[in-house]
Amino acid sequence: MASLSFVDVFAGAGGFSLGLHEAGMRGLFAVEKDPMAFSTLYHNLARKRGAFDWPAWLPAAPMAIEDLLRGHGHELGRMRGKVDVMVGGPPCQGFSVAGRRQEGDERNQLFREYMKLVRILGPGFIVLENVPGFAVPFPAGGGGRSYLQLLATELAEAGYEEPAARMVDFSRLGVPQSRKRLVVVSTPKGGDPEKVQEAIEKRQRRGRVGAAAAISDLLRSHGEVPSPDSRGFAAGVYGRVESGYQAAMRKVPGPALPDSHRFAKHGREVARRLQRVLGSHATPWAAWKAAARGESRKSTMTPLVPSLPAPTLTTLPDDHIHYSEPRILTVREYARLQSFPDWFEFLGKYTTGGQLRRHEVPRYSQVANAVPPVVSREIALAVEHASVGGAG
């Protein structure tokens, strides 16, 4: 069977695209408006891996979906019927029940732009990943409906099946992180999106990868050197491989030093407080978090437990403490916990703050917001299974 083609919208740093590419799918193009996230995607997937057959008419540059539709509608129309899979979830901050959930958040409206692109391209499969709040009704306006229900209405009007939506625990698909997300699948009328969900469910496994099995070869105690990309900072070196997961992440040769493995500069008192939290030896997370609250005003600070998958990563790096060293995690450790292989390099600022947080996507955010590549690969294989069965 010829490889399936895909388009990735709201692509971020390219986690979804990477998994599809590793499953043998062929990228056509990706849409991402943030310059830092787009540079990471294009550097790794277009330049290094040749994962996209990027069209000559589309600039290889950061671009909002609105600008794509406004400036390239004619060229997109000529691609109708040539896109097998369209992936990408609208930015999730406006849907998240953990954040300031607002029905009028401008980011919530981006799924409508997504639907405009669906109507133009007519993809054989539509796959979205989003936070659970995407399926939770807003209390006011819209008749109390959720955005999943609104999306279902627009899909039906565009000639698509009722979307099959399932909550998926990504740790059951091989990600060393207890990350639960809503996976939504639809096909043109006559298809069966449930086949994709059934195939994803069959690919889930019993065993889970713990935090230590994911990142123990990245301990600061293995040694440090001056950071190659941040003057005045220290970066870590590799230790020996200690698990099958680490071997898989390091299978394809990457930089001699772990990319983006820059350690934060903690003050002496902060380090002492973090050490006292780690010295509590209390498990699981609930007890560790209680100890952390006693040492910090930050109530969300959560130490990792070495034998368990990490909790859901956030874009705030000081939400998590390393399981054995008194420090926050590095970007590379974040990437490991999101299943990005070590050859995949992250570009741009490490962090940002203030009002820029709403507009910039630095490295920590690029990783935390991504669809884990291991998950997207499993989704791709499920889609291929359904495609062979005549679902598309």
Look at residues 131, 43, 33, 28 and name the one whose alpha carbon lies nearest to residue 76.
Answer: 28
CB 223 within 8 A of CB 293: no
Active site residue 365: no
Spatial separation of the C-alpha atoms in residues 144 and 146, rounded to whole Å: 7
Pairing outcome for strands 234-236 and 224-226: antiparallel
Of the listed 92, 126, 213, 249, which one is catalytic?
92
The C-alpha atoms of residue 113 and residue 178 are separated, in whole angstroms, by 31
Q: What Å distances lie between residue 217 and 57, 86, 209, 213, CA to CA?
A: 44, 36, 14, 8
Annotated active-site positions, please? Answer: 92
